[in-house]
Amino acid sequence: MRLNTTGLRLRILTAAVVTALLGCTGVASADAAPMPPSHADTALHLPDTMTDADMQALLATDNDIIDVPDQTDDGSGLQTSLAGGGRCFVDPGAMWQRKSGSNTQFGTIGSKPRLRDCTAGVRTSKLESSVYKRSGDFWSKVAGPFVSWGTGNMIQRSVAYRCAGTDRNTFKVISLGSGTNSRGDSAIATDSTGEFSFDCS
């Protein structure tokens, strides 16, 4: 699902300074060096509970590409091409289970979502991921949101749910990402892992 918005003005200069200070190149570890919350697009939120229909509607378009437009309306109804478009791919990864560690008796489940293949036109980016558990006809958020900010490619390394028992349950991770170009134009995309069953409750 993709929603294009305009007028979102992020502090690009501050983002560039943070990136320079951190010496980030290539893929950044979003958990290790998140940007301040002032850079967040507060419109990005995933609901706490969804029905199967809600889940299907959220993911129906199967659009995992953040595609920031490189055109703008000049007021005459004509689309004027401008430099500054960009794109990233939202990749929620595959879910895993660790039976021990993480200071929990029953282990943890999770994934390592990422934004990948971001082009130079993406100046700031955000990734929000949550773990959902199926219960009957509903999906409930059991961990998250895990929110990270960056200037392009990033990996979230702490998207995890601590199991409270060993009953068999079905889970998925949903990731919602956004990218913004130098003009403040932004776009949003959503993707999820498949459904994974684990001995985790």
DSSP characters over 133-157: EEETTEEEEEEEEEEEEESS-EE--
The pLDDT value recorded for residue 58 is 83
The pLDDT value recorded for residue 24 is 35
Alpha carbon distance 93, 194 (integer Å): 9
The pLDDT value recorded for residue 30 is 54
Write down the pTM of the prediction.
0.73
Residue 173 · residue 141 · CB < 8 Å: no
Mean pLDDT by 10 residues, the chain (201 residues): 37 32 42 44 73 86 78 44 69 91 84 95 94 94 95 94 96 95 89 95 94
Alpha carbon distance 66, 75 (integer Å): 25
